[in-house]
Amino acid sequence: EAQVTQNPRYLITVTGKKLTVTCSQNMNHEYMSWYRQDPGLGLRQIYYSMNVEVTDKGDVPEGYKVSRKEKRNFPLILESPSPNQTSLYFCASSFGGLPETQYFGPGTRLLVL
Amino acid sequence: SQQGEEDPQALSIQEGENATMNCSYKTSINNLQWYRQNSGRGLVHLILIRSNEREKHSGRLRVTLDTSKKSSSLLITASRAADTASYFCATDAGGTSYGKLTFGQGTILTVHP
């Protein structure tokens, strides 16, 4: 089954404790992206990658890191999480190097205390 | 700033009625996409319309794009209770924003049986 998976789905952590949210897709998609969703703000793009070893900043990259060493994986790293990073995070992927017709993961709900 | 802004923020209708949602954006675009989200789940791609297209259909969905007014509308005909969801427009501006996708804040649609 074609899908985008994210782990963990739910996470409670404390300020400053490094964490990684994994994202994996099995569709051989070139494009992958991370978004955060906050009430009243819609989805905002954090980072995106148009292919392996190619990443770029979205609209809200501060406090996040990403890497794209393999085509299928695009982990999101929070080196020192803060309470303002409490949010619902989505990973998405699409065919070709463009953000068209994206497939979304189920989301990761993060609470930073 | 938000590239896409939806209007209305919330829409409540009876089953069988049509639902129209609007999206306005600020800069020129390569394409505009509409996505649906059911209650905190991952988004599902509905339809993509390119900047050189004016109208597109997919089942009960009709999307129009007016690049002179920088606006798009999504029409759902003969709505069903299962159409209850949040609907987001997303714009791909291309150019110096190549690879970026910007979402609006969404319209919450409630269809009453």
Residue in B with minimal Cα distance to A3: B42
pLDDT averaged over every residue in chain B = 92
DSSP letter string over B34-97?
EEEE-TTS-EEEEEEEETT-SEEEETTEEEEEETTTTEEEEEE-S--GGG-EEEEEEEE-BTTB
Confidence of residue B1 (pLDDT cuts 50, 70, 90): very low
Nearest to A98 among B90, B99, B103 (CB): B99
**Which of A4, A59, A100 lies nearest to residue B48, judging by beta carbons?**
A100
- pLDDT digits 0-9 by tens, A22-79: 999 999 999 999 999 998 888 999 999 999 999 999 999 999 999 999 999 999 999 9
pLDDT confidence of residue A98 = 86
Q: Tell me phi and psi for residue A42, to 5 degrees.
A: 65, -155
Minimum Cα–Cα distance from B87: chain A residue? A42
What pLDDT does residue B113 have?
A: 94
- Asked whether the beta carbons of residue A99 and residue B106 sit closer than 8 angstroms, the reply is no
In the predicted model, what is the mean pLDDT of residues A7-27?
97
- Range picked from A91-100, B1-10, B68-77 for highest mean pLDDT: B68-77
Chain B nearest-CA distance from A104, in A, is 5
Residues of B whose CB is below 8 A from A101? 33, 45, 48
Q: How confident is the model at residue A80 (pLDDT cuts 50, 70, 90)?
A: very high
Nearest to B42 among A41, A97, A105 (CB): A105
Asked whether residue A81 carries a pLDDT value surpassing 50, the answer given is yes
Instruction: Report CB contact under 8 Å: A100, B40.
Output: no
Q: Which residues of B touch A50 (CB under 8 A)?
A: 99
Q: Which of A90, A99, A103 sits opposite B99 (nearest CB)?
A: A99
Q: Taking CB atoms and an 8 Å limit, are B101 and A56 in contact across chains?
A: no
pLDDT of B39-54, one tens digit each? 878 899 999 999 999 9
Q: Give the residue on B whose Cα is nearest the Cα of A102.
A: B45
* pLDDT grade for B65, boundaries at 50, 70 and 90: very high
Residues of chain B above pLDDT 90, percent: 80
Confidence band (pLDDT; 50, 70, 90) for B4? low
Q: Residue A41 in contact with residue A107, Cβ under 8 Å?
A: no
Q: What is the pLDDT of residue B3?
A: 56
- The answer to whether the CB atoms of B103 and A4 lie below 8 A apart is no
**Alpha-carbon distances, residue B62 vs A46, B44, B47, B55, B70 (angstroms):** 30, 16, 9, 7, 17
Instruction: Kindly state the average pLDDT of the residues B22-30.
Output: 92
